[in-house]
Amino acid sequence: MTWTHNFDESPDAELKDTLRRDFHWGFATAAAQVEGTWNKDGKGESIWDKFCHTPGKVKDGSTNEDATRAYDLYKQDVALMKSYGVTAYRFSLSWSRIIPLGGINDPVNEKGVDYYNNLIDELIANGITPFVTLFHWDTPQALEDRYGGMLNQEKYTPDFLRYACLCFERFGDRVKHWITYNEPGVYTLAGYAAGVHAPARSSFRERNAEGDSSTETFIVAHTEIVSHARAAKIYREEFKPHQKGQIGITLHGNYSEPWDVNDPKDVEAAQRAREFEIAWFADPIYGSGDYPASMRSQLGSRLPTFTDEEKSIVKGSSDFYGMNTYTTFFVRHLDGEADINDHLGNVEKLDTNSEGKSRGPESDTYWLRTAPSGFGKLLHWIWDRYHVPIYMTENGTTAKGEHVKAPPSAEVLNDTFRVDFFHSYLRELARAVQDGVDIRSYFGWTFTDNWEWAAGFEDRFGCTWVDFESEEKTRFPKRSAYFLGDYFTHLIAEG
C-alpha cells in the first residue's frame, strides 16, 4: 500500500525548495537495537547484552538477541530504505563486534569488519550516504569488567582511540560523516544517575548494587567529552587530509519552557535546565570551552575540571552540531538547595504550565509528547548560542495502538499520529532555515520498529512495522515512511 501527499496549499506551499540541494535525509538506527546476532560470528558481549540478560531490567522481559535481524537482513533493509527515497542512513558500529574484548591490544574480529564493509558498500551502491556513529551506548563488557569502563578515563581512552582509528582505517575511504558519541548525556544519565540503563549503576540501592549518582554521572560525561575530542583530533590530523570527511558528536536535548512565563524564577529555571541538559556538553565543545557556570555553582567539585590541555582540544572539536531531540517540558523552579542527586538544575519538569496548557498530545512513550513549537525554539537557541551547522541526527515518536498482533491492520499502518508529528516538526525546521539557521540533515528515528532499550519491544518508534514474532521479522511499511519521502521532495531544492 502507498499513499501520496499534496503540499500545494499554505503553509506548505511557502516552504517549497527551502532546504539546500545537498540536504541529507533518511533514518537513524543503533547496532544494539537492530542487529541481533548478539553472540555469533565472533561478536563479544556488550554491556547491553549483559543488562538484558539480567532478570527484571527490561520492561517486557525481552532481550536483543535477534532484534530486527538487521545483521542478516541488511540487503533487504537497504532496498526498503531506497524504496522510501532516502538519501542517507545513520547507523552505529558495535564496538564488541569489531573488537570483541574492546581493548587496545585485543584481537580484531574480521567477520565484524566484513559485515560493516558489506553494509557500507550496499548503501553506496544504492546511492545512500552512510553516516556512522562509533558509539551508541554498547560498551564492550570486557572493558567494564577490567577497569569500570568510562569511570576510568585514563584506561578507557586509549581503548576507545584504538577502536576509532581502526574504524577510520577500515571504513574511512567510503565514510565521510563520522559521529563519535551518540547522546553522551543520556548514556550517563540513564546508566549512572537513574541506573535504569546499562551499566546499571546509581545511588539507589533498591535498583542498583553499586554506583554514586552524584559523582559518577559527571565523571563518565567528562570521559566522553575528552575522548571524543581526542578521536576528532586524530581524525583531523591523520585521516581527514586524504579521506576528506567530517567528524562530530551528537547531543540529546529537549526544549525547556518556563512553567509560569511571568515568574522570573521560572524563566531562569528554564534556561538553567537547558544548560544542565544541553550546554553541559555543548559549551565545552562549541562555546565557552568550559562547563556552564550554573552547573559549577550547583555542583562544585563534583563536576570535574578540564585541564588546560583538555580544554584546548575540546573546544572546537566537532565540525557540526549533531542534534537529537524529541519533545518539550514545562520547567518550574524549586526553592532551597538542590538535592545531591539532582541533574536537572534544581527544577521540576511538568506536563502542563501554570495556565493548564498541555505540552502536547501523548505518544506511547511516557516522556514523549508532540511539541513542535519548542523544537523551533530549540533550533534557534542552539544556533544563537553556538553558530555551527546543525545536523539533525534523530527525531521521531511512538504512537498509541501500534502494539498489536500481526498482521497489522491498514488502520495501524496508516500512522497519522506519526505523520502529524513529522509534518509539524519539519515545518518548524524549514521555517528555521528560512530564518537563517544552517541545517544540513534530518534523520527520522527510526527506520523500523526495534528493541527500544529498557522498554523492550513495546515502544514502536519505526516508520516500518515489524512482526517480532515471525522468524523473518517481517517488515510492513507505515504511511509515515512515504510521507517523509514526499515531504522532503517538496522541501529540498531541486537540481
Catalytic residues: 183, 394
CB neighbour burial string for 242-253, b if at least 16 within 10 angstroms, e if fewer: ebebbbbbbbbb
Distance CA(62)–CA(56), nearest Å, equals 10
Of 256 and 324, the one with the shorter C-beta distance to ligand PNW is: 324
Of 18 and 33, the one with the shorter C-beta distance to ligand PNW is: 33
Burial of 422: CB neighbours in 10 Å, binned 0-12, 13-18, 19+ = buried
Task: Give residues with Cβ within 8 angstroms of 458, minimum separation 6.
Answer: 59, 60, 364, 403, 452
Measured from the CB of residue 10, what is the shortest distance to ligand PNW in angstroms?
32
Residue nearest to ligand PNW (CB): 367
Name the residue among 92, 96, 90 with its Cα closest to residue 48. Answer: 96
Measured from the CB of residue 187, what is the shortest distance to ligand PNW in angstroms?
9
Residue 188 phi/psi, 5-degree rounding, is -80, -35
Of 182 and 480, the one with the shorter C-beta distance to ligand PNW is: 182
How many residues are listed for the chain in this entry? Answer: 495
**What does the radius of gyration of the chain's CA atoms come to, in whole angstroms?**
21
Cross-strand bridge partners of residue 258: 331
Measured from the CB of residue 399, what is the shortest distance to ligand PNW in angstroms?
13
Helix (H) or strand (E) holding 139: none
Of 33 and 109, the one with the shorter C-beta distance to ligand PNW is: 33
Measured from the CB of residue 99, what is the shortest distance to ligand PNW in angstroms?
22
Measured from the CB of residue 7, what is the shortest distance to ligand PNW in angstroms?
27
Helix (H) or strand (E) holding 257: strand 255-258
Measured from the CB of residue 367, what is the shortest distance to ligand PNW in angstroms?
4
Residues making contact with ligand PNW (CB under 6 A): 30, 33, 182-183, 186, 252, 254, 324, 326, 367, 394, 445, 452, 461
Task: For residue 39, give the C-alpha cell.
Answer: 553472540
Of 358 and 367, the one with the shorter C-beta distance to ligand PNW is: 367
Distance CA(169)–CA(62), nearest Å, equals 36
User: Contact at 8 Å (CB) between 327 and 359?
Assistant: yes
Of 170 and 473, the one with the shorter C-beta distance to ligand PNW is: 473
